[in-house]
């Protein structure tokens, strides 16, 4: 049975059975959830014939798993399919508003159901990454002893957000954004389906309007279906009986959604893409990732820190001016703010991407730090290099025998500057001296 946080009166997958007279109709995106593999679109690498997740579900394994992927990629649908195909008792809770008490209710019901009918229970936790450690710990023993089969869904990296003990008991499957062909097929199915979809509507959708919805969705089937439903509702309200145009869709969407979550792992994924594009000397890619981060509302100070790091780490001594320009961009962020600072950020990104690359500085400092921190090569300053300006310094030999380079021809004199234990140590390649 599918249940919501302990309610034992709900029917199996009620959205497929139709709404009661007193209830509001379920949203199109919910009504159109696939009920079998033939209706499911996308994620062929996991649920295609003979693929791992499909086999795990079809063999009715008691193995728990976590679905990690972007919104609208099919995580909830796969959980419900697993319950339907295995005829399991299904409980769905959201980690946003559920707690340990809700988990205990499900556990108690699962034990009762097993004793009464030997039927397994699936607990689906949406946004499982929002559960704290204590809440995740509460699930552990019951996953371990098989009382429940856990299916979690998350848009965040489980390796970061889910505790190791729970991860070790779950297989993790990575879902991808849906391709445009999949989103288009889902929309077409919704338009044609006369029972759950919009097949009885007299209004049609123009081809360019369909193209715009598909493009806007950016791989999110739920978003695409929500826009389609809103368009049909608008047409119905305004008495349009012919077709929905792109102009109508543009009025609903207003602004294309950006695939960017600045509070999650995508925040770091995009920063990584920007930095690697800069390092790889691809200004077009770097500008794209910069634009994506700006459009997603990223803090420009976070962006400029990545630009500064790349200027120092990857351009380095090959063009020291890159660090100057990156610092100027940082000043512009503070003095100008957005949107004007986008220009200075773009200038810095283009300059750094085009600049020659040299990472001698980071190699040298990291070698030295490694020797000091990992090998214990931390030695005192030799007496002749110590500060000799304070009283009685020379009494202790500080500064004695130091050779002042400007007293010698060419302002250079052979002299040992390293501790005696490190004499001859080289941190830079010979050609970088």
Count Cβ atoms below 10 Å from residue 148 Cβ, excluding itself. Answer: 25
Decide if pLDDT at 239 tops 80: no
Tokens of 243: 């077709």
From 95, 96, 112, select the one nearest 150 (Cα to Cα).
Answer: 95
Q: How far apart are CA 283 and CA 174, in angstroms?
A: 30
**CATH of region 2-174:** 3.40.50.300
- Convert the pLDDT of each residue in 386-408 to its tens digit: 888 877 777 778 888 888 899 88
Instruction: Pinpoint the residues of the chain covered by CATH 3.40.50.300.
Output: 2-174
Instruction: Pinpoint the residues of the chain covered by CATH 1.20.272.10.
Output: 265-354
Q: How far apart are CA 8 and CA 17, in angstroms?
A: 17
CATH 3.40.630.30 fits 265-354, yes or no: no
Residue-by-residue DSSP string for 204-272: EE-HHHHHHHHHHHTT-HHHHHHHHHHHHHHHHHTT--SEE-HHHHHHHH-SPPPS--TTSHHHHHHHH
Q: How far apart are CA 221 and CA 147, in angstroms?
A: 33
Query: 3-class SS at 125?
Result: strand
The stretch 357-376 carries a mean pLDDT of: 89
The shares of helix, strand and coil residues in the chain, as percent rounded to the nearest 5, are 55, 10, 40
**Pairing state between β 204-205 and 243-244:** parallel
What does the pLDDT read at residue 59?
Answer: 82
- Convert the pLDDT of each residue in 139-176 to its tens digit: 889 998 889 999 999 988 888 788 898 888 888 999 99
Q: How far is CA 215 from the centre of its chain?
A: 21
Decide if pLDDT at 190 tops 60: yes
**CA-angle at 259, arms to 253 and 261, nearest 5°:** 115
Q: How far apart are CA 35 and CA 82, in angstroms?
A: 10
Tokens of 112: 């009762």
Instruction: Pinpoint the residues of the chain covered by CATH 1.10.3710.10.
Output: 360-432
Instruction: Pinpoint the residues of the chain covered by CATH 1.10.8.60.
Output: 180-253
Quick one: fold of 360-432? post-AAA+ oligomerization domain-like (1.10.3710)
CATH class of 180-253: mainly alpha
From 98, 60, 55, 92, select the one nearest 77 (Cα to Cα).
Answer: 92
CA 265 vs CA 74, 154, 163, 198, 223: distances in Å: 19, 11, 16, 36, 21
Backbone angles phi, psi at 387, to 5 degrees: -65, 125
What does the pLDDT read at residue 61?
Answer: 78
The stretch 340-367 carries a mean pLDDT of: 93
What does the pLDDT read at residue 78?
Answer: 94
**CA-angle at 361, arms to 358 and 364, nearest 5°:** 125
Total residue length of the chain:
433
Cis peptide before 339 (omega within 30 of 0): yes
- The helix or strand, by DSSP H or E, that contains position 305, with its residue range, turns out to be helix 300-310
The stretch 13-22 carries a mean pLDDT of: 44
The stretch 119-131 carries a mean pLDDT of: 91
Report pTM: 0.63
């Amino acid at each position: 049975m599918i249940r919501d946080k302990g309610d034992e009166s709900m029917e199996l997958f009620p959205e497929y059975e139709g709404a009661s007279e007193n209830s509001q109709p379920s949203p199109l995106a919910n009504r159109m959830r696939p009920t079998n593999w033939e209706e499911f679109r996308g994620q062929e690498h996991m649920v295609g014939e003979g693929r791992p997740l499909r086999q795990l579900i079809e063999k009715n394994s008691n193995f728990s798993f976590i679905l990690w992927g972007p919104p609208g990629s099919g995580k909830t649908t796969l959980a419900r399919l697993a319950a339907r195909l295995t005829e399991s008792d299904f409980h769905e809770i959201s980690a946003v508003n559920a707690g340990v008490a809700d988990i205990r209710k499900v556990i108690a019901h699962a034990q009762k159901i097993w004793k009464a009918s030997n039927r397994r229970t699936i607990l689906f936790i949406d946004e499982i990454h929002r559960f704290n450690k204590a809440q995740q710990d509460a699930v552990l023993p019951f996953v371990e002893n098989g009382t429940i089969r856990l299916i979690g869904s998350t848009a965040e990296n489980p390796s970061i957000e889910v505790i190791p003990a729970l991860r070790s008991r779950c297989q993790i499957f990575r879902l991808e954004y849906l391709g445009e062909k999949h989103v288009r097929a889902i929309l077409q199915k919704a338009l044609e389906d006369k029972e759950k979809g919009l097949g009885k509507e007299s209004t049609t959708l123009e081809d360019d309007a369909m193209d715009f919805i598909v493009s806007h969705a950016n791989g999110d089937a739920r978003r695409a279906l929500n826009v389609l439903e809103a368009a049909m509702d608008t047409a119905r309200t305004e008495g349009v009986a012919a077709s929905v145009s792109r102009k109508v869709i543009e009025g609903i969407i207003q602004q294309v959604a950006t695939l960017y979550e600045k509070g999650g792992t995508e925040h770091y994924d995009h920063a990584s893409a920007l930095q690697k594009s800069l390092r790889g000397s691809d200004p077009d890619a770097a500008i794209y990732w910069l634009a994506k981060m700006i459009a997603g509302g990223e803090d420009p100070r976070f962006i400029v820190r990545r630009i500064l790091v790349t200027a120092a780490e990857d351009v380095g001594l090959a063009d020291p001016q890159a660090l100057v320009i990156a610092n100027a961009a940082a000043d512009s962020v503070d003095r100008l703010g957005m949107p004007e600072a986008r220009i200075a950020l773009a200038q810095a990104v283009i300059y750094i991407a085009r600049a020659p690359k040299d990472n001698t500085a980071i190699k040298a400092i990291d070698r030295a730090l490694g020797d000091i921190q990992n090998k214990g090569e931390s030695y005192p300053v030799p007496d002749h290099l110590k500060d000799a300006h304070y009283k009685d310094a020379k009494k202790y030999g500080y500064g004695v025998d130091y050779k002042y380079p400007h007293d010698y021809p060419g302002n250079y004199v052979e002299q040992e500057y390293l501790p005696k234990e490190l004499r001859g140590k080289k941190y830079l390649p010979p050609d970088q001296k």
